[in-house]
Each structure stands twice: as C-alpha cells, then as structure tokens.
Amino acid sequence: MSDLLEVTARSVTGTQACQKLRQEGHVPAVLYGHGETCVDLSVRRDAVEAMVRHGSKTVELTGAVKSPALVRELQWNAYGTIPLHIDFLRIDPSEKINVVVPIELRGECPGAKAGGKFKQVLREIDVECTAQTMPEVAVAHVAHLEAGNVLKVKHLELPQGAHATADDEAVVASCLLSNQKLEDATDIGTKATESNDE
C-alpha cells in the first residue's frame, strides 16, 4: 500500500519563494503527467523524511491534490541531509511503468570461500511493473553461487507482476575459477566443470 502524503498548493514560484518554504520546514514539489496541468505543491519536510525512511517509491497524495503518484525525482542538498525538491508523476495504479531498482545481494557466496573470485556485474536493473507491484529491490540470492558459476537476470527474485526488461541471460554476479572466462562459467546451481584446471 502506498504511503499517504498530504500536499499543499503553492501559487508563488521561483528561487526566493522556494527558499522561504524550506526555511519554514516545507519542501517545494511539482506534480505532472497523464496530459494534465502541472501543479506546484509543497510538502512538510518531516513527512518527506518519513517517506524516505519507509523507502516509498509511490505515494497517495492527499490535501490540495488527490492522486496516486510516483516519486520521479527527489533532490537533496550537497550533504544529502535536506530534501530540496520533489517531482511527482501522476500514475494509474494498474498502468505499466518502468523503474530502475537496485540489486540486493543476499546470503554468502560459498564459491568465494572455496577460492573463487566473486564479482557483482550489475548493481541495478530496469523493471516493468505497476505501482502496486513495484519492488524496492531485485533480490539476488548468492548462497548457492559456487566457484565456476554465474547468477543471471533470470535468477533474480521479483514480486509477482514485476519483471526485469534486461536479457534473462545477462550476468548479475559471478564467482570464477582461476583463469576461467566469464563465457565458460555455468548457471548458478549447476556443477562447474574442472576443464580449465590443469
């Protein structure tokens, strides 16, 4: 379920007006998309910080505007401590959208302990989903990644209704044997051959 986020309409725009809003504990925002008029808004900073803590990518706007929205962009100050501006994109909850999500490794790679060289090749992935099925992360389970194996996009764990748009055979992570080439590695869960060893 999306977080509820109360927004207030703002009629004054520009650098000085936005700075004043921030001094008063608000974050300037804008809502656009679906061919509708762009709306200038503001949100309480503490509400934005709570949204970030929850890891919300979609929100249900309430108050001056009532609409489901995707957090398209959140700008921060130079230290990454104060939110400066938010771009909201109107969405239909059942509409297919494309988002980029980070790949999260879970588990310990047994192949690395056995002498293989572990490497994460992809760190994020493009996912097609609806607002309701949007994942926070794509999970890569490396607990079965033996030396000589690779973990591919097809092995990523995503919620039902979401799928990666990249090639299923693209390598996410590898654990190669000494002098082994990536193209000679086998899929995760497949016993590696020792043909490269003398």
| Tens digits of pLDDT across the chain (198 residues) | 468 999 999 988 899 999 999 999 999 999 998 888 899 999 999 999 999 998 888 899 999 999 999 998 999 999 999 999 999 999 887 888 888 999 999 999 999 999 999 999 999 999 999 888 888 899 999 999 999 999 999 999 999 999 999 999 999 999 999 888 888 888 876 655 544 443
Q: What is the CATH number of the domain that holds 128?
A: 2.170.120.20
Task: With beta carbons less than 8 A apart as the criterion, state whether 4 and 60 touch.
Answer: yes
User: Cα dist. 164→49, 103, 138, 150, 182 in Å?
Assistant: 29, 11, 9, 17, 22
Same domain for 106 and 158? Answer: yes
pTM for this prediction: 0.70
Q: Are residues 74 and 136 in the same domain?
A: no
- Boundary-marking domain end, from 41, 57, 90: 90
Report if residue 35 sits inside a domain.
Answer: yes
In this structure, the answer to whether residues 63 and 139 fall within a common structural domain is: no
Same domain? 50 vs 32: yes
Per-residue confidence (pLDDT) for residue 12, from 0 to 100: 84
Question: Which of 38, 85, 47 lies closest to 65, judged by CA?
Answer: 38
Distances (CA, A) of 19 to 6, 23, 28, 87, 110: 20, 6, 9, 17, 52
Q: In total, how many domains does the chain have? A: 2
Residue type, 69: A
- Answer yes or no: do 101 and 177 share one domain: yes
Do 8 and 63 fall into the same domain? yes
* Helices assigned H by DSSP within the chain: 15-23, 45-54, 110-113
Dihedral Cα 194, 113, 140, 188, nearest 10 deg: 20
Residue where a domain terminates, one of 90, 122, 144: 90
Residue 10 lies in a domain: yes
* CATH number of 60's domain: 2.40.240.10
Q: Is residue 38 part of a domain?
A: yes
pLDDT given for residue 55 in this prediction = 80
Domain limits at 144?
97-187
85 plus 101 within the same structural domain: no
pLDDT number for residue 190: 64
Q: Which of 90, 111, 141 finishes a domain?
A: 90
Q: Distance of alpha carbon 38 from its chain centroid, rounded?
A: 25
